[in-house]
Amino acid sequence: MAAKAKKVYTCSACGGVSPTWRGQCPRCGAWNTLVEGLAGPGGSKALASASATPVPLGSHPGEDFTPAPTGIDGLDRVLGGGLTPGGAVLLGGEPGIGKSTLLLQLAGLAAASGRRVVYVSGEESLPQLKARAERLGVLHEGLLAAATTDAGAAVDILGATPAPDLVIVDSVQTMHVSGVEGAPGSVSQVRGVAASCVEAAKRGQACLMLVGHVTKDGQIAGPKLLEHMVDTVLYLEGERRHLFRILRVLKNRYGPTDELLVMEMRERGLSEVPDPSTFFLGDRDPAVSGSAVVMAVEGRRPFAVEVQALAAKSFLSMPRRAALGLDVGRLHLLLAVLEKRLRLNLGQVDLYAKIGGGLKIPDPGLDLGIAAAVLSSFYDRPLPAGAVFWGEVDLSGRIRPVAGHDTRLKQAERLGYGPILCPNAAGLGSKVETLPDLARLLFAKA
């Protein structure tokens, strides 16, 4: 007689399993995240393999992990050299941001170089895939495709003979594995699909690329365990209404984790922006108040971005504060410091701030540029033409150094910016160490 299926409760945040329901996950501490399911053959026993037998590590023959180039120089840099045989890569991003476009381009380039590539799609039919590949100009005889939502088919493809060099599964939330309770996209199914595909990739020499959707708060959907299963986690971000995209590395076992790739969406797909130093400035008018140039650092690459601020008279009892591309809490903090240290009355104005080009940058070095832009709009006086800012503002009003100072300085000098206003650097004939210094140097006659 078959054993009765046992109920378990899986955490939707971390993937932890509890035999009984609890209000709080015993693993990660999150509240109300345990979802009822059944313990099936897709559990931990199904993941056991012959490699669980201990062997002397020094005498193990090892494998060749030399990465293969993707055909996109920037992507090779982000991945640490290219696609690693037996490696698993997870690409996350919002719907419509260009994940499938990027991977179809990658598949076409790999097929054109003579490698065996299989694109497994659970979201599109084969005619749709062919039409998109023709539009992108990547249709090639060596590019194979399969339209299925069965994870078992993807596992069979990974273990096929001859073995493929690259297998793309789009997406992990649309696939399902037999023997695991839950609908496609549920915590148990996402975990089962990823575990079976990653295990099959590790047994062979194929590089596996999984596509993952994101939740409304920007996290990759499914249990956090999904990110721990793979070797590399990439995140494609940007505004769908803008042309640019940024590919970030959140985790990489084979390369750097502080790299990024700036791309532009065109009619024939995504293309790399070779020098994004001034790409996000657009048609900036330096004669307009409330606009400041900040030398930001994302990953290892410095580039200039425009920080805009607008101070307008408020007719509300509670003036408005809004921010795009930066944390609104950080804006509130900077406004409080400006009001306290410079004795400004900001309670009668609405204040808005944004980063030009639709960028989202968490760099603390933006603080000084935001403060300068707010003051420029408040006094309605433009900043000096060619001025560039970076530095972190603390609660005392002092300007603190930030990471990548030398990199920012070299890039600012290479682009011909001046004056340069940053911590411990001479600007406009004096050093900028506090917010009163900044206000005195820029708006002495305000």
Query: From CA 116, how far away is CA 157, in angstroms rounded?
Result: 11
Distance of CA 339 to the CA centre of its chain: 34
**What letter represents residue 221's amino acid?**
A
Tell whether residue 401 is among the known ligand binding residues. no
Tell whether residue 97 is among the known ligand binding residues. yes
Tell whether residue 95 is among the known ligand binding residues. yes
Tell whether residue 100 is among the known ligand binding residues. yes
Tell whether residue 93 is among the known ligand binding residues. yes
Tell whether residue 94 is among the known ligand binding residues. yes
Q: Which residues carry a binding-site annotation?
A: 93-100
Annotated binding site for ATP: 93-100
